[in-house]
Amino acid sequence: MSHTFPQEKFNADHPVISVYPDAKTASIDVAQRIASLVRAKQREAEQVVLGLATGSTPMYVYEELVRLHREDGLSFRNVVSFNLDEYYPMQPDSQQSYVTFMKKHLFDHIDIQPDNVHIPDGTLPKEKIKEYCLAYENKIAAFGGIDIQLLGIGRTGHIGFNEPGAERYSKTRLVELNDVTRTDAASTFGGKEYTPTEAITMGIDTILAAKKIMLMAWGTGKAEIVKKTMESEITAEIPATFLKTCEQVEFVLDSEAASSLANLEV
C-alpha cells in the first residue's frame, strides 16, 4: 500500500506533533507502527504490552489492526493489553461497557489470548477497588511496563478519566467524572441521568511511565482543547499538559484538530 508520511514538528519544549490530512490516514499509520513493534517482538520471542483506549478516536486504528490480522496474517498471540479505564459501576456485558467495546472493535476479531487482556473491573464492591487498582499497577509492572500507550483527549483535557485537578503522580484509582465528560457520554447511556458518575482509570503517572505514548485527536471539535494543551503551562487543570513533560510523547492529529495551533502548517 502507498504510505503517507506526516508532517513532523520538533520543539525542545514540546512533544512531537504529527499532522495528517485526515483521521483515517493517521489511524492507519498508528496501526502500522503498532504492527511493526508486534512483529519485531515476535522475532525476538518477546511479548508486547499495549495500553489501549476506547471511544471514537481509536476505532480506525483497531479497524486497521483487524485488517492486518485477517489479510496480512498479523498475530496478536504475543500481545498483552491493559485498557485505560472503565465506568463504575459497570457490568462487562453491558452495551456501554468498555469490555463490550473492545470485543466489538478488536478482541473478537484477532487471536489475542483472553488471559492477556486486562480491562478495569467495574463490578467490584467499593471496598475492594483500592486493592484491585494496586494489583492492576503491579500487573503492568510485572509485564515490564507498557510499550505503546494509545490516548484520546476529552474536551476537559482529560487523558483516561484523569479529569481537571488530577495529580501528576496519580496511579490507577476510582475517580469522579467531570460534568462535561458525563454530558458528552449521555447519548450513549440514553440520558445524563443514567450516565455513571465515577470510573476506574489508570493514573497520570501510570500513563507517563509508558515507553511510547501516542495521543490522537480528530476533528474541529478537538481543536480548542489541543490548542489549550499545547499552548498552556503544565497544569492539573488540563491534565493532558503533563504529557508535554515527556520525550516519548507524540501528538497525532488530523489537520482539523491541528487547525488552531499557532505556527504550524497543516
Length of the chain: 266
**Residue 78: which H helix or E strand, with range?**
none
Question: Which domains can be identified in the chain, with CATH numbers?
Answer: 10-254 (3.40.50.1360)
129: nearest Cα among 120, 142, 138: 120
User: Would you call 265 a catalytic residue per the annotation?
Assistant: no
The C-alpha atoms of residue 136 and residue 72 are separated, in whole angstroms, by: 33
Under 8 Å between Cβ of 150 and 53: yes
From 64, 86, 137, 163, active-site residue: 163
**Per-residue pLDDT tens over the stretch 61-90:** 999 999 999 999 999 999 999 999 999 999
Under 8 Å between Cβ of 183 and 63: no
Radius of gyration of the chain (CA): 18
Residues 6+ apart with CB under 8 A from 69: 75, 76, 109, 110, 111
Percent of the chain with pLDDT over 70: 93
Residue 265 has pLDDT above 80, yes or no: no
The C-alpha atoms of residue 48 and residue 140 are separated, in whole angstroms, by: 12
The amino acid that residue 29 corresponds to is D
The C-alpha atoms of residue 126 and residue 173 are separated, in whole angstroms, by: 11
Residues 6+ apart with CB under 8 A from 23: 60, 218, 219, 254
**Predicted local distance difference test score (pLDDT) of residue 14:** 59
DSSP for residue 127: H
Q: What is the average per-residue pLDDT within 171-188?
A: 97
Cell numbers given for 238: 488540563
Under 8 Å between Cβ of 257 and 6: no
Cell numbers given for 153: 483527549
pTM value is: 0.94
**Predicted local distance difference test score (pLDDT) of residue 2:** 31
The C-alpha atoms of residue 234 and residue 232 are separated, in whole angstroms, by: 6
The C-alpha atoms of residue 25 and residue 21 are separated, in whole angstroms, by: 7
DSSP for residue 243: G
26: nearest Cα among 6, 56, 46: 6
Asked if omega into 89 is within 30° of 0 (cis), the reply is yes
**Predicted local distance difference test score (pLDDT) of residue 262:** 83
Task: Give the SS3 label for residue 20.
Answer: strand
Residue 10 has pLDDT above 90, yes or no: no
**Per-residue pLDDT tens over the stretch 85-142:** 999 999 999 999 999 999 999 999 999 999 999 999 999 999 999 999 999 999 999 9
Residue 159 has pLDDT above 70, yes or no: yes
